Amino acid sequence: HRESLALGQQYSSLGSQPILCGSIPGLVPKQLRFCRNYIEIMPSVAEGVKLGIQECQHQFRGRRWNCTTIKDNLAIFGPVLDKAVHMKVSFKQRMSTRESAFVHAVASAGVAFAVTRSCAEGTSTMCGCDSHHKGPPGEGWKWGGCSEDAEFGVLVSREFADARENRPDARSAMNRHNNEAGRTTILDHMHLRCKCHGLSGSCEVKTCWWAQPDFRMLGDYLKDKYDSASEMVVEKHRESRGWVETLRAKYAFFKHPTERDLVYYEGSPNFCEPNPETGSFGTRDRSCNVSSHGIEGCDLLCCGRGHNTRTEKRKEKCHCIFHWCCYVSCQECVRVYDVHTCK
Ligand SMILES: *[C@@H]1O[C@H](CO)[C@@H](O)[C@H](O)[C@H]1NC(C)=O
Ligand SMILES: *[C@@H]1O[C@H](CO)[C@@H](O)[C@H](O)[C@H]1NC(C)=O
C-alpha cells in the first residue's frame, strides 16, 4: 500500500526549503492529507504546476492575455509551493473561460508529467519505473531502461489537482473535465524511445522503453485544443443529493466535445483594459510588433489605441571569428532597435 510508505515523514525539501504541509495556506483537507501522505512527491507537484504555467506563458506570449502570474490572486489548484512563493494565475478562479480551461489542462498535465519524470529518475521510494512494459518486445529490440509510469503521475495529479473540484456546480464540472483532458494528453502521446548498444553504435542490441512526450509538444497540442474549445451551457438537475449542475454542448450542430477537448461556458473578456474582476491587466505598455497583422501586432494587441515608439541601444556580439582550433572570438557592437509599446 503506497500511502503507508510515507508515514512518519514530517517534511521533505524543495531546494533547501522544508515543506511543512500544515504551513501551506489554503489547502483543502483532502489536499492536506495528500501532502502528508505523499510528502516526497510534493516538490514534483509544485514543479509540475510551474512547468505548466511556464508552458502557458510560452504559448500565449505576445497575446493580450499572456498567462501572467501574479501573487495576489486565487490559485489554480489551491496554493502550490513554488520556493515558498505561491503560484497564482492572472484570473480569478470563478472565471470559466477558455483561458481558464487551458490553464487547468496544462497545469494538471504539468503535475502528472513532473511526477512521472521524477519517479523515473528515482527521486522517491514511492514510485519508479513502469514494470509492466506493456506487451512483448518487437522486431529487433527488447525491453530495457526505465519505462516512465505515466499512469502513476496521472493518478497523483487527479488526486491533488481535482481535490478541490468536488462541488456540484458547473465550475467544478468544467475544471474536472479540463484537468482530465490535460492529463489524457500525456497518456495518448506516450511513445517508445530506443537506444542502440554494440560496438561503435552498431545497434547489435536495441533496447526500448516507454517515454513521455516532450512537454512543449503537449503545450502545442493543448493550444490547438484551446483554439477549438467547446462552448457549453449549464444545466441543473435535481438529484437525491440536491441540485447538481452539468454541462451540455451549446451548439448541437457541432461535434460533441470528447473527453480530450477543452470546455468552457463563459465568454472571455477582450483583455484590452485592466479589470480586477476578470484579472485582466490590459495591454498598456506591452511591446508589440509593428510589422505583424497578427494578434501580437500593434493594431490588435493595442486594441486600436495606437502605440509609442522609442529607440533602444543593445550591446550584441558581432564580427565573430572562429579560430582553429577551437574557440570563437567576438567584438561587441551596439545596435539600435525600435521598440513599440501600446498606448
Ligand atoms: C504579460 O503581460 C503583462 C501585463 O500586461 C506584462 O507586464 C508582461 O511583461 C507581459 N509578459 C510578456 C512576456 O510579454
Ligand atoms: C514581427 O512580425 C513579422 C511579420 O509577421 C515577423 O517577420 C517578425 O519576425 C516579427 N518580429 C518579432 C520581433 O517578433
Residues 45 and 126 in one domain: yes
Residues 66 and 167 in one domain: yes
Which of the listed residues 200, 234, 264 is the one where a domain comes to its end?
264
Find out whether the beta carbon of 66 lies less than 6 Å from any atom of ligand 1.
yes
* Number of the ligand closest to the Cα of 293: 2
Residues 219 and 116 in one domain: yes
In the numeric block, which cell numbers belong to residue 233? 451551457
Q: How far apart are the CA of 317 and the centre of ligand 1, in A? A: 27
Q: What's the pLDDT score for residue 12?
A: 41
Residues 94 and 16 in one domain: yes
Which residues span the domain enclosing 306?
A: 283-342
Return all residues near 175 (Cβ < 8 A) that are at least 6 apart: 100, 104, 162, 165
Find out whether the beta carbon of 178 lies less than 6 Å from any atom of ligand 1.
no
CB atoms within 10 A of CB 234: 16
Residues 97 and 127 in one domain: yes
Q: How far apart are the CA of 130 and the centre of ligand 1, in A? A: 40
Residues 323 and 288 in one domain: yes
Q: What's the pLDDT score for residue 142?
A: 87
Within a domain: 33: yes
Q: What's the pLDDT score for residue 45?
A: 86
Find out whether the beta carbon of 286 lies less than 6 Å from any atom of ligand 1.
yes
Residues 84 and 172 in one domain: yes
Residues 57 and 24 in one domain: yes
Asked if 220 contacts 227 with a C-beta cutoff of 8 angstroms, the reply is: no
Using only the alpha carbons of the chain, give its radius of gyration: 24
Within a domain: 62: yes
* Number of the ligand closest to the Cα of 64: 1
Q: Which atom of ligand 1 is nearest to the CA of 67?
A: 1
Residues 75 and 223 in one domain: yes
Which of 278, 281, 284, 307 for a ligand 1 pocket mutation test, highest count of atoms within 8 Å of Cβ?
Answer: 281
Low-confidence ranges of the chain (pLDDT < 50): 1-16, 71-74, 80-93
Q: What's the pLDDT score for residue 185?
A: 96
Domain count, the chain: 2
Find out whether the beta carbon of 86 lies less than 6 Å from any atom of ligand 1.
no
Residues 102 and 180 in one domain: yes
Within a domain: 202: no
* Number of the ligand closest to the Cα of 291: 2
Going by alpha carbons, the residue nearest to atom 14 of ligand 2 is: 289
Within a domain: 300: yes
Residues 217 and 175 in one domain: yes
Asked if 285 contacts 276 with a C-beta cutoff of 8 angstroms, the reply is: no
Find out whether the beta carbon of 68 lies less than 6 Å from any atom of ligand 1.
yes
Within a domain: 317: yes
* Among the listed residues 132, 191, 149, 160, the one whose alpha carbon sits nearest the alpha carbon of residue 39: 160
Within a domain: 205: no
Going by alpha carbons, the residue nearest to atom 5 of ligand 2 is: 292
- The CATH number of whichever domain residue 331 belongs to comes to 3.30.2460.20
* Number of the ligand closest to the Cα of 68: 1
Within a domain: 218: yes
Asked if 217 contacts 189 with a C-beta cutoff of 8 angstroms, the reply is: yes
Strands 142-143 and 205-211: parallel
pTM of the model: 0.84
Q: How far apart are the CA of 59 and the centre of ligand 1, in A? A: 13
Within a domain: 269: no
Going by alpha carbons, the residue nearest to atom 13 of ligand 2 is: 289
Residues 164 and 302 in one domain: no
pLDDT in tens, 106-154: 999 999 999 999 999 998 888 998 877 667 777 888 888 889 999 999 9
Q: If 0-12 CB within 10 Å is exposed, 13-18 middle and 19+ buried, where does residue 147 land?
A: buried
